[in-house]
Structure formats: C-alpha cells, structure tokens
Amino acid sequence: MTTLLFNKPYRVLTRFTDEEERRSLAHYIPVPGVYPAGRLDRDSEGLLILTDDGRVQHAVCHPHNKLPKTYWAQVEGLVDERALAALSRGVQLKDGLTAPASARRVDAPTLWPRTPPIRARKSIPTSWIELTLTEGRNRQVRRMTAAVGLPTLRLVRVRIGPWTLDGLAPGRWRRLSGRPLVTIARYVERYLDPEAPTHGSGRRREGRASAGRRRRGRQGKIPGKGSTRG
C-alpha cells in the first residue's frame, strides 16, 4: 500500500490527465497507481492525500468519519466577532446549513509566494482566518466566507486529520510509512470523543464504543504513524 502527502500548488488540477493540457498531478507525482483521496480546487493550494488503497480513500473522504480539515483563508475585509460566530455556528448556503466549524482570526502566516499573487485592492484591507471543517461540500470555504461578507482571496489547506503540510514545499510530496488506515481510525475516535481512553484501555462511553467498533471493523486494528520523505 502506498499513501502520499502532497503540497498542491496553485492552478494545479487534482487529477492526472486533462484534455486542455493544464498542469495536473502528472507533472509532480511519479508514483504509479495512486489517486487523490478527496479534492482540492484548482485555485486552492495545500495538502492533498494520494493513495492506491481504496480503504484509505474511503476513510479520508467518507462523511461518517468527520475527518477534520484545516484551512488558512486570506479574505477581503477585516474579520470581526460576528463573522467568526456565524462561521462557527454554521452558515446557510444554497445547499443547506453547514455543520458547525472551528473559526478564528490568525496573523498572516509565513507562506511561499503565490504565482500569480492575489489581486488585492489598496482601499480594502485583507486578513486571515483559520477554519476547520468536518464536511466537504464543493468550494465550501469560499462560499462560507463569502456568505459572511469576507470573500476569499487565497486558500491553503494545511491539515487533514493527523497530517499537516509541515516540511513540504509547493510541488513536493512525502510518502507515509506505517499504517495510515488505522492512524485515521484512531485519530477520528479521539477527535470525536477527546475524553475517551486510547485504543485498548479502559471503557468508552456508550454509543461511542459501538461507533468505534464499526470504524475499526472497516478500517483495521493496528496503529501506524510517522513518515519518510519521497
């Protein structure tokens, strides 16, 4: 089984072929047989998981797991408490109310330059939001920030579940060692119930236990962690 972490650059498609010959994963990933677990828009940047294991892809993408994904969004305008409260509660979009999210203001992060740079207007300030979601609707972050009056100018995904962009430059990838399938299962269990004991010790809350057993039945039994650079 092969699973990779990749820092997708701006204007790169999350597929390997394109009839219009736009830049795609084929320009960066020489590993045969791996496919994206989930999507990241062409105009977004950051962390993407690729795998040749359908079970890992299911564990990353299936809404039952509520695997959290964290984004840094540079938005047009100043972020206030009203906007943060709305994002945290859930925002009404055309396809329904979004699930509650974690939203907070952050200082401008130290990131690689984007090519081309964003088109900022001198008369309107920009600011940054860190937003963590547990669902994956189409262009959800952009639609959520726009709904609270803060259009997104630049969007970078920095975390998927237990994995982050740390040490990955744009266009670079890292191969995961160990058993990522069970790393996901354990992470999901702890994320959904932070007070639950670690796997194999103590008693879980009723309800969480049965959910955990169902997840482990589908996703494996033994944890794996760590990574090596590809």
CATH number of the domain encompassing residue 150 = 3.30.70.1560
Beta strands in the chain (DSSP E): 3-8, 35-36, 45-51, 69-76, 92-93, 96-97, 102-106, 126-133, 152-160, 163-164, 173-176, 227-229
- Would you state the pLDDT for residue 211? 40
Domain of residue 118, residue span: 68-159
Are 57 and 168 in a shared domain?
A: yes
The single-letter code of the amino acid at 172 is R
**Domain end point (choices 139, 159, 179):** 159
Residues marked active site are found at 41
Res 33: pLDDT: 96
- Position 208 scores a pLDDT of 40
For residues 122 and 203, membership in a common domain is answered with no
Q: How many residues does the chain have?
A: 230
Instruction: Please say if the pLDDT value at position 203 is more than 50.
Output: no
Please indicate, yes or no, whether residues 59 and 99 belong to a single structural domain of this protein.
no
Domain boundary among 137, 159, 181: 159
Are 73 and 50 part of one and the same domain? no
* Tokens 């055309």 belong to residue: 94
- pTM, full prediction: 0.82
User: Token digits for 103?
Assistant: 């939203």
Same domain membership, residue 83 and residue 143: yes
Of 78-82, 168-172, 175-179, which range is least confident? Answer: 175-179
Asked which of 126, 159, 192 is the last residue of a domain, the reply is 159
| 170 shares its domain with 150 | no
Least confident residue range of 113-122, 124-133, 139-148:
113-122
32 and 86 both lie in a single domain:
no
